[in-house]
Amino acid sequence: MASNETYENRLYDVAEKLQIPDSTLQITRVRLDHLHGEADVDAAQFNQIAPAVLALSCREDGLPITGRDIVEPWTDLLADPEATELDPERLPEQIEAVADRLDIDHPPERPDTLVERYADTLDLSEAVGTAGKRILTDVFREAPRVVAEASSPAETAGASLVLAAEANGVDGVGPNEVADVGAAGGVTIKNRYKAFREVLDEGGLDARRYQADAVEDGASADTGRPDAKSSASDGGVSDVPADACMDAVRGMFPDELPTTATVAEALDAPEERVGDRLQDLADRGELAARRAGETVAWIPGDRDELGADLTIDAVHSEVDALVEALDVDASVRLFARGLVSDAAESVAVEDAAEFAGAALIASSRLNDGDLDPATVAAERDFGTRALYQWLDRLGEIAAVDIPRRGPSDVVESLAEDIEFSETVLEDSRRTLEHYEPAADDAAFAAPELAAGAVFFAATTGGEPIDVDELADSIGFEASHVTDAMNSVFVSLCRGLIRGEIDYEESFWTADLLESDRIAEIGDPQTGRAVAAAKTYVAGREGQHVDEGTLDVLLDEN
């Protein structure tokens, strides 16, 4: 396996391989950033520190991840695996040291260890304890986030043991009994028990691998759980029963996102024909189709909204689809999914595509990447401006400082991409310095405003630039560039009339009287602003006009 250059990349790759949830990965990153800021921690040590921090976070979230699970894939990613000092046997000591650094008094034990202890304390057989560990592993494999949502490893261990006792007909081992011998309360264990029970689905506890006698007889830990899928014949849409589709959707919702793929899997039927039947049900009003980017969620007609968890699932699916289409690094994908998990509660599922795109761009920027919003937008039906708006919103709701380029930065990039003179470049910078958008102006993204300023500077300076070329360079519609240019022109005219811009020091003011080019650009509002500015510079430079009078003159109220 090829080596990764940084411990951050190895962290992402190992987390993805082990299906470690985004929330667990995020707290690991926060802790590593904290340690990185300590003066006496050598950066070279992070190849040993990072696996220990990840293992600590996994323990706290009650994940059935061992030190060997982390160390072996981590070592495989090193340039020289033989030279590493990483050792699964020494990881517990390193976890203790890291916990001490992070002011964590007592790092928790792994949940599988707790299952064994609770089983022994409750006089349950070793085989029942093993069944409990298998249940925890299976739930984690099916739904990692359901495990990570627990408040402690005692909670996940307790819930798993209660389920193992139930699977083996052992009475008197419920949440309260396990709580008496563990560190989690009966209510929290009961809640986690219910969540695990739903993941295992109907009949899941009947699996042979969970039976104590099978464990004692040496039945393989890899023996699968019973498959609850029903079958459907392979034919046209009429061969996929409407009732079966409705039952599948209602069985999933609201705990799981009913998509064409998940319904087809539940029915063991061809996805295309299931999709046709679902669309038929939607046309009849029995289902509502809620599009989340490239994914359609099918919701029972009597239900209006998806819950936060299902919205997160929908946006995660769209993140994954964009990652595949754009060939984005796994580390960017995982970080984007983490941002989604933090912020998706206030997002409508219909906005999944834009939100997922913004999360990917934010993730790329936060990890020193340069994923272009125009490239992302080209993969979907929304415009580039929508991504910039969603980046702003994501920064607010996720409370994260997303690196952004300002209009002046984009002007510099345009100068590299499109040939125009140093004069136009300098005039574009000065234009942006004087620009003040009107209150009712559209919120222009930085590339739109930059292109608008360049278009204005080039046009007024007698060096016309093709607006389509500018638009192509920034990945926006040409109309967006002309709208931004008009906003710039009106703003500068108003600033001149108010006396905030000096006539003698402005590169464009002389053209107001001496050139016909000005009259040939802009919309009617721009024309009125130019006419007012011409009147002003024709002999009334000393008579400035206030904002209210300007609104009346330009008929903008």
User: Is the domain of 548 the same as that of 411?
Assistant: yes
> pLDDT value at position 51?
92
Find the Cα–Cα–Cα–Cα dihedral 202, 203, 205, 210, rounded to 10°: -150
Does residue 229 belong to any structural domain of this protein? no
User: Is the domain of 12 the same as that of 59?
Assistant: yes
> pLDDT value at position 452?
92
315/349 Cα distance (integer angstroms): 7
At 505, which CATH number? 1.10.472.10
Comparing C-alpha atoms, which of 123, 143, 156 is closest to residue 204? 143
CB-based contacts of 324, cutoff 8 Å, min separation 6:
none
| Angle between helices 260-267 and 271-283 in degrees, nearest 10 | 120
User: Is the domain of 411 the same as that of 533?
Assistant: yes
Does residue 139 belong to any structural domain of this protein? yes
**Tokens representing residue 371 in the block:** 């994923």
Does residue 360 belong to any structural domain of this protein? yes
Domain assignment of residue 85, given as a range: 7-101
Beta bridge partner(s), residue 291 = 296
258/250 Cα distance (integer angstroms): 8
User: Is the domain of 545 the same as that of 439?
Assistant: yes
User: Is the domain of 76 the same as that of 44?
Assistant: yes
Tell which of 101, 125, 142 closes a domain.
Answer: 101
CB 88 within 8 A of CB 68: yes
Does residue 421 belong to any structural domain of this protein? yes
Quick check: helix, strand or coil at residue 124? coil
CB 85 within 8 A of CB 48: yes
CB 142 within 8 A of CB 199: yes
User: Is the domain of 209 the same as that of 153?
Assistant: yes
Quick check: helix, strand or coil at residue 288? strand
Residue 440 CB coordination number (10 Å)? 6
Does residue 232 belong to any structural domain of this protein? no
The per-residue pLDDT string of the chain (557 residues; one tens digit each, 9 = 90 and over) reads: 444 467 888 888 888 888 898 888 888 988 888 887 776 777 677 888 899 999 999 999 999 998 888 988 888 888 777 767 788 888 888 899 889 888 887 888 899 999 999 999 999 999 999 999 999 998 998 888 899 988 889 999 999 999 999 999 999 999 999 999 988 888 889 999 999 998 887 567 888 888 888 777 655 444 444 333 333 333 344 468 888 899 999 888 877 778 888 899 889 888 888 888 888 888 777 888 776 666 778 888 765 555 666 677 778 888 888 898 888 888 899 888 888 877 766 676 667 788 889 999 999 999 888 899 989 988 887 788 888 888 888 888 777 888 988 999 999 999 998 888 999 999 999 999 989 887 656 578 899 999 999 998 888 887 878 889 999 999 888 888 888 988 888 888 888 888 888 877 777 777 665 555 555 566 677 777 777 777 777 665 556 666 655 555 555 54
CA dist list (Å): 66 to 55, 72, 93:
7, 10, 14
Does residue 242 belong to any structural domain of this protein? no
Does residue 70 belong to any structural domain of this protein? yes
At 276, which CATH number? 1.10.10.10
Comparing C-alpha atoms, which of 338, 445, 322, 311 is closest to residue 377? 322
User: Is the domain of 354 the same as that of 382?
Assistant: yes
Does residue 235 belong to any structural domain of this protein? no
CA 446 distance to own-chain centroid:
22
Quick check: helix, strand or coil at residue 199? helix
486/456 Cα distance (integer angstroms): 8
User: Is the domain of 94 the same as that of 124?
Assistant: no
Comparing C-alpha atoms, which of 283, 270, 271, 131 is closest to residue 211? 131
CA dist list (Å): 503 to 18, 60, 418, 508:
66, 66, 29, 9
User: Is the domain of 317 the same as that of 282?
Assistant: no
User: Is the domain of 313 the same as that of 289?
Assistant: no
User: Is the domain of 74 the same as that of 178?
Assistant: no
Beta bridge partner(s), residue 296 = 291
Buried b vs exposed e over 451-466: b needs ≥16 C-beta within 10 Å? bbbbbbbbbbbeeebe
> pLDDT value at position 350?
67
Tell which of 374, 397, 420 closes a domain.
Answer: 397
- How wide is the angle at C-alpha 106 spanned by C-alphas 103 and 109, nearest 5°? 135
492/325 Cα distance (integer angstroms): 42
Element (H, E) at 166: helix 153-167
User: Is the domain of 418 the same as that of 532?
Assistant: yes
Q: Return the biggest CA–CA distance within the chain.
A: 103
Q: How many domains does the chain have?
A: 5
Tell which of 101, 121, 141 closes a domain.
Answer: 101
450/448 Cα distance (integer angstroms): 5
